[in-house]
Structure 1
Amino acid sequence: MPVQGARPDNSPSGRIQDKVAVITGAANGMGRATAERFAAEGAKLVLADLDREKLEALVAEIAGRGIQVTGVPGDVSREADMQALMDEAVAHFGRIDILIANAGIIPEADLASATVDLWDHTMAVDGRGMFLSCKYAAAEMVKAGKGAIVCLSSISAFAGQKGQAVYGPAKFVASGLTKHLAIDLADKGVRVNAVAPGTIDTPAVAKLGKEGIAKVVAMHPLGRMGKPEEVASAILFLASDEASFITGAVLPVDGGYLAQ
């Protein structure tokens, strides 16, 4: 059964044709769906992920379709890796038009079970990683006087949830960074927006188990999980020139969760 609201034939619109797009966390879930969608739209891709094996397989698959793509393994929480990622993008394609700051982890922990190490690791990946990705991509965009950044936030950045004592605050960082960078970079021609997905059918969510997934699905008025491709469509819109007068927005892609 086709997903309501999805493009039935996934036909490309050409909205980002020949744009150079850097996507972090590209090997799995929403990052992979975004890479696939951007490839179909004719973008030139620079894909990054910590999982070298999956990244190389994805790059080979996309390159096999005649798409210009390169892969750069790395850790978003390491400054040297993010500097190297953006340097590679510029060396390979000459510029950076779009950044999708997607890489992140989703730990499940309440306050009692959360450790300082888990807190620090989550903030390093979900918080510092997004900051570093934006910092070094934006530096290249400012040189060109234009660019679009889309960060991955979450409904957990807006609504309190059980078992999210670490992940939820990290996503507050994502939404806050989006709004502050949008103002900081507006007069330099760089737009910064975010999407806030609800429960999306990804490998990370699958770890919740059947009972856990059923509980969170019941909280979404549309009565189902979202598809990674649906999030990718929202990301595509915000990254494209169709959103040219939108900056500092955090767009829920959540089946109505935050409307309650």
Structure 2
Amino acid sequence: MNELQATSLFRLDDKTAIVTGAGSGIGRAIALLYAAAGAGVVAADLDSTAAEETVARIVRGGGRAHAVTVDVAAPEGIEGAVTAAVETFGALDVLVNNAGIYPLGERLPGIDWETYERTYAVNVFGALRCISASAGRMRPGGAIINISSMESLSLSGPGNAHYSSAKAALNGLTRAAAVDLGPQGIRVNAILPGLVKTEGTSGAPQPLFDNIAAKAPSGRVGEPLDIAGAALFLACPAASYVNGHCLLVDGGITISR
């Protein structure tokens, strides 16, 4: 970067991004913000109708987007999204591994193996498959962003071993991938959100939101756009020297527990 031009540092013009889990919540917010920043967006989601709605919102706003149906836990799941990115927009520059699940678990020593295996299949191996499929077709200067969780560092309570350990594994994968892909000119980072108001957390009891808001130094729970803003930074030229980092975006709740 030869000149400090704020506009260009935070733009994604002429870039193409795949966002998994783009049909709602954090993934939709990231897809919309990337499109607003100039990127062509492949909105990938298991729910095809939700992915199409994200694309419709982008197009209505004057952006460029394409929807694909993806199950990241399937061996061939991400291949269609990668092909769509290259064929529709001519390249691939950014991958956001946002697709994830947070099923109810049980307190150890009890183990529901089906829950554990599905959690790891989506949250860890799904991200690994997406990285493996995308990195080989990504242009130098590319960025991969994994959406982890503050739960990987600070447990909210018992019964979360399946989810917190999977997200901790995702943090480790982030650092390992940064080492392996750095020579290709690809950066790999993670975002660790705190509690965020989304469709997925809408069923949580209100006292949980109130408790987090009361304890967080920021005085509130997160919104999808809070995470999207961090994802935009990590994808942009402004973050060209940020690699292998796990960024907490939790309003400070982790340090106040």
TM-score for both structures, normalised by structure 1: 0.90
Identity of aligned residues (%): 36
User: Following the alignment from structure 2 to structure 1, what is the Cα–Cα distance between the partners of residues 245 and 44?
Assistant: 25
Aligned to 2:29: 33
2:161 paired with 1:169: no
Whether 2:217 is the aligned partner of 1:236: answer: no
| Structure 2 match to 1:146 | 141
- 2-structure distance, mates of 1:55, 1:86: 15
Question: 1:68 Cα shift?
Answer: 1.6
Q: Deviations over 1:143-199 (max 9, x none)?
A: x33311111011011113313121111111211111000011111100001111111
**1:116 matched to which residue of 2?**
113
Q: What secondary structure is seen at the aligned counterpart in 2 of 1:212?
A: helix
- Report the equivalent of 1:137: 134
Is the Cα contact below 8 Å between 1:12 and 1:41 reproduced in 2?
Answer: no
Do the aligned residues in 1 keep the contact of 2:191 with 2:231 (CA within 8 Å)? yes
CA contact (8 A) 1:13 1:41 kept: no
Q: Which runs of 5+ in 1 are unaligned?
A: 1-10
Aligned partners of 2:155 and 2:206: how far apart in 1? 22
Root-mean-square deviation (CA, aligned residues, Å) is: 1.8
Letter in 1 for 2:132: K
Equivalences, count:
248
Q: Separation in 1 of the partners of 2:75 and 2:142?
A: 21
Q: Work out the CA distance in 2 between the residues paired with 1:122 and 1:183.
A: 25
Equivalent-residue separation in structure 1 for 2:42 and 2:111 (angstroms): 35
Contact preservation (8 Å) 2:23, 2:47: yes
2:3 maps to none
The unaligned stretches of length 5 or more in structure 2 are 1-6
CA distance, structure 2, for counterparts of residue 38 and residue 225 of structure 1: 23
Match of 1:8 in 2: none
Report the counterpart of residue 18 of structure 2 in structure 1: 22
1:126 aligns with 2:115: no
Once residues 42 and 154 of structure 1 are traced to their aligned partners in structure 2, the CA distance between those partners, rounded to angstroms, is: 27
2:81 corresponds to which of 62, 82, 85: 85
Aligned with 1:47: secondary structure? Answer: strand
Which residue among 79, 83, 91 is the counterpart of 1:95? 91
